[in-house]
Amino acid sequence: MFFQDVKYGVRMLVKSPGFSVVAVLSLALGIGANTAIFSLVNAVLLRPLPVADPVRLLSVSTTDQKNPGNLPLSHLNFKDLRAQNGVFTDMAAFTFNQVNYSAGRESEQVVVQVVTANYFTLLGTQPALGRAFLPEEEATAAPVAVVSDGFWQRSLGSDPNIVGKTLTLNRVPYTVIGVAPKHFGSTLLGGGPAAWLPMSQPLVPQPSWWSTRRGLFLFAFGRLKPGVTPEQAQSNLKTVFANL
């Protein structure tokens, strides 16, 4: 019966070539669209972050009566939460900015993440080439950068000796100290940055926000201490935040 149905179906398709073409194209478009959507969902939702023990990482956000919802932290609140909480081994933070990358006569606007020096180490992610940031490089606003694998391939020619060379960002030479792992982009959904730079006031989106508790621009996260639950962490952070 199966083969009879196949023969009948083939005869019907041959008799109606226009319908056959439309049917095949419709199937091709449908399969292609579903494949593309799954690839996107897999990339941004299903594939786990290439970090160590991700279940122990928690994002930390701001919500209040004036601004409901999960919002970033201010720089001052982040510093106090990091120093006063009792549930994290440490906290890290990052924000986004856009800078001008120039090479010779060519230039382009690229997105970067401005991060605390412990960003990579707290995530448990090691650069594929070179190293991550040192604490003093944040403290002194050192002009150093870790570049993404995509930017390294696309704009830097996959140079295996890129570590130690310089990039010109906003007319400032930055020394490349590392290249991020191939599948590491960001802890937020969506596209990753071209590079990561140490946190400093001139590099944040609005430098005037640096010293105000209402300037909400830092995306923060922490790694739970052994034995601490997310519920305990939330309770502790709410107490600390209420006292600020």
Binned at pLDDT 50, 70 and 90, residue 183 comes out as confident
pLDDT reading at 110 higher than 90: yes
Predicted pLDDT at 221: 97
Taking residues 46-73, what's their average pLDDT? Answer: 84
Share of the chain above pLDDT 70, in %: 92
12/86 Cα distance (integer angstroms): 72
**If you count them, how many residues does the chain have?**
244
Q: For residue 50, how many other CB atoms are within 10 A of its CB? A: 15
Q: Which residue has the higher pLDDT, 13 or 71?
A: 71
Binned at pLDDT 50, 70 and 90, residue 44 comes out as low
Residue 242 backbone zone (phi > 0: left; psi -120 to 50: alpha; other: beta) = alpha
Q: Which residue has the higher pLDDT, 121 or 39?
A: 121
Sign of CA dihedral 155, 178, 217, 220: positive
225/61 Cα distance (integer angstroms): 19
DSSP 3-state percent helix, strand, coil across the chain (nearest 5): 40, 25, 35
* 118-145 tens-digit pLDDT: 999 999 999 999 999 999 999 999 999 9
Predicted pLDDT at 118: 97
Predicted pLDDT at 48: 64
Q: Which residue has the higher pLDDT, 162 or 9?
A: 162
Q: Which residue has the higher pLDDT, 8 or 84?
A: 84
Share of the chain above pLDDT 90, in %: 68
Residues 95 and 238 sit within 8 Å (Cβ to Cβ): no
Burial of 133 from C-beta contacts in 10 A (0-12 / 13-18 / 19+): buried
Taking residues 110-118, what's their average pLDDT? Answer: 97
pTM value surpassing 0.95: no
Q: At what angle do helices 17-41 and 2-15 cross, to 10 degrees?
A: 110
144 DSSP β-pair partners: 175
pLDDT reading at 49 higher than 80: no
Q: At what angle do helices 75-84 and 230-243 cross, to 10 degrees?
A: 120
pLDDT reading at 47 higher than 60: no
Residues 118 and 90 sit within 8 Å (Cβ to Cβ): yes
- The most distant pair of C-alpha atoms in the chain lies apart, rounded to whole Å, by 79
Residues 158 and 105 sit within 8 Å (Cβ to Cβ): no
Average of per-residue pLDDT values in the chain: 89
